[in-house]
Copies of this chain bind each other. A is one copy, B any other.
Amino acid sequence: MTESSITGVLRVIPDGSVTTPEGFYAGAVYAGVKTYGDDKLDLGILYSDRPCHVAAVFTRNEVKGACVLVTMEHVADGRAQALVVNAGCANVCTGEQGLEDAREMARLAALRTGAAARDVLVCSTGVIGVPLPMDRIREGIARITLDPDGGRALARAIMTTDTRPKHIAMQFQHEGRTYAVGGIAKGSGMIHPDMATMFCFLTTDAPVAPAFLDATLRSVADRTFNMVSVDGDTSTSDTMAVLANGAAGGDPIDAGHGAAQLFQEALYGVSLHLAREIARDGEGASRLIEVRVYGAATKEEARRAARAVTVSPLVKTAVYGRDPNWGRVMMAVGRSGARVDVSRAVVRLGDVAVFVRGRPVPFDEEEVRAILGAPEVRIEVNLGVGSEGATAWGCDLTEAYVRINSEYTT
């Protein structure tokens, strides 16, 4: 964890996950929906032993999966108790049958857990346009057993082309109570979230009030997952949800509560970690790219400029090739729509300034090649027109991305 926002009062639990907060259980099985990859878990359930407040954000893609449509209905009352998820088939563009299948998944998970079907979130990820193999889903859900340590198995069960599971938890204390926030997430292609990414599930045992939970989730999504891009494509299944079950006790946490800021920081810290992990594990990626834009006229222009750099295939291939071709960074910033004053702009690769106030600066090419070859590459751009900033994350573009996406149906 290198994120500077995580202070000493937040304790990071690297092995933590969605079952670190009290009262949460999870389990996963291999049902045979996902037919590729080494890690064969592909179906799981997350469950709270008491009802939760829920907040969620979903893909803005006009084409939404059946599970997204059903989950939007189920979270509308702000209450949830379980989540059922499969990997390998996204149940998108599957017509009326798809909606019926998503509803049946909720009913099956309700039967298995004792939650009400309308309190079950349903999530599916994988190939588009293929009906869910409901016989396998039915048989699989019947085999799921819930475990208070089951969160990491669930993190594996939501993976598609991800090369490793993504999970973390953080704890903070307030007036003698310990609260936890846990999360799991998955990538790793079709990642250019517009509202939320393809699956980030968060839990907390803090008694967070509904309106504050919703506001915090939206703010965190905008600063984390909505600033990640692997390939510029926005999934039809993006779902980011947080369940707060209050099991740790105490008064409801709203904006005026003494633990409000700690909860915000914990939710931000967990989400930031998971968002960066998704970028780092982008399909075929060998490097995480962090782009910091400042000197922008508006916050929105800073965000657009930062994302334009992370999306640019020419920047991504240059980083892959360790090519200090910073001109491509200026090209990407220039096409983002953000205002730029080239005569005042600055570009840094790592800590090395390569373009300062309109002029190329001589630099040690070997030094910059080493910077571009590190596991994390930072690119900074001062647009020279204002004082707003934003940070975005992406990854390099390698031959492996092409192979992964041309060689089999995902």
Known contacts A61-B335, A194-B335, A407-B321; A327 and B233 CB within 8 A of each other = no
**Which of B92, B233, B335, B398 meets A234, CB within 8 Å?**
B335
In the assembled complex, A80 has its CB within 8 A of some CB on chain B:
no
User: Chain A at the B interface: mostly helix, strand, loop or mixed?
Assistant: loop
> Are B330 and A236 in contact (CB-based, < 8 A)?
yes
Tell me if A409 counts as interface (CB < 8 A to partner B).
yes
Interface flag for A352 (CB, 8 Å): no
- Closest-by-CB residue of B relative to A64 is B334
Kindly report how many copies of this chain are found in the complex they form together.
2
Q: How far is the CA of A174 from the CA of B340 in the complex (A)?
A: 48
Evaluate contact between A127 and B325: CB separation under 8 angstroms. yes
User: Quick check: is A342 within 8 A (CB to CB) of the other chain?
Assistant: yes
The verdict on A189 contacting chain B, using a C-beta distance below 8 Å, is yes
* A399 CB, min distance to chain B CBs, angstroms: 4
Within 8 A of B (CB), among A373-410: 397-399, 401-403, 405-410
Contact A330 B402, beta carbon cutoff 8 Å: no
Contact of A63 among B95, B331, B403, B405 (CB under 8 A): B331
- Assess the B94–A360 pair: CB atoms within 8 A: yes
Interface status of A128 (Cβ within 8 A of chain B): yes
Q: Taking the complex as formed, is A204 at the interface, i.e. its CB lies under 8 A from any CB of chain B?
A: no
In contact, B360 and A326 (Cβ under 8 angstroms): no
Would you call A20 an interface residue if the criterion is a C-beta within 8 Å of the partner chain's C-beta atoms?
no
* CB contact list, A60-84 vs B, under 8 A: 60-64
- Assess the B95–A333 pair: CB atoms within 8 A: no
Tell me if A323 is interfacial: C-beta within 8 Å of chain B: yes
- Tell me which residues from 297 to 345 in chain A have a Cβ below 8 Å from any Cβ of chain B: 311-314, 317-318, 320-321, 323, 325-328, 330-340, 342-343
A360 to chain B minimum Cβ distance, whole angstroms, is: 5
Alpha-carbon separation in the docked complex, A208 to B326 (Å): 42
Contacting pair B232 A405 (CB below 8 A): no
Q: Could you tell me the distance between the alpha carbons of A129 and B408 in the complex, rounded to whole angstroms? A: 40
- By size class, the interface of chain A is 35 or more
Given contacts A236-B334, A331-B233, A339-B62, contact A402 B401 (CB under 8 A): yes
Task: Kindly state whether residue A235 has any CB partner on chain B within 8 Å.
Answer: yes
Q: Does A231 contact B (CB under 8 A)?
A: yes
Query: For the complex, is A355 an interface residue (Cβ under 8 Å from B)?
Result: yes
Q: Say which residue of B61, B323, B359 sits within 8 Å of A409 (CB atoms).
A: B323
Contacts of A9 on B, CB cut-off 8 Å?
Answer: none
Question: Is the pair A93, B355 in contact by a Cβ cutoff of 8 Å?
Answer: yes
Beta-carbon nearest neighbor of A94 in chain B? B360
Q: Residues of B contacting A64 with CB < 8 Å? A: 334
Of B312, B343, B405, the residue contacting A314 (CB under 8 A) is B405
**A358 interface residue (CB < 8 Å to B):** yes
Q: Is the CB of A134 closer than 8 A to any CB of chain B?
A: no
Q: How far is the CA of A320 from the CA of B403 in the complex (A)?
A: 10
A113-130 toward B: CB 8 Å interface, digit per residue (1/0)?
000000000000001111
19 contacting pairs across A/B (C-beta < 8 A): A64-B334, A92-B331, A93-B330, A95-B358, A95-B359, A128-B325, A128-B331, A129-B327, A129-B354, A189-B314, A190-B331, A232-B312, A232-B313, A233-B328, A234-B335, A313-B313, A317-B406, A318-B406, A321-B406
Which positions in A face B, CB cutoff 8 Å? 60-64, 90, 92-96, 127-131, 189-190, 192, 194, 231-236, 311-314, 317-318, 320-321, 323, 325-328, 330-340, 342-343, 354-355, 358-360, 397-399, 401-403, 405-410
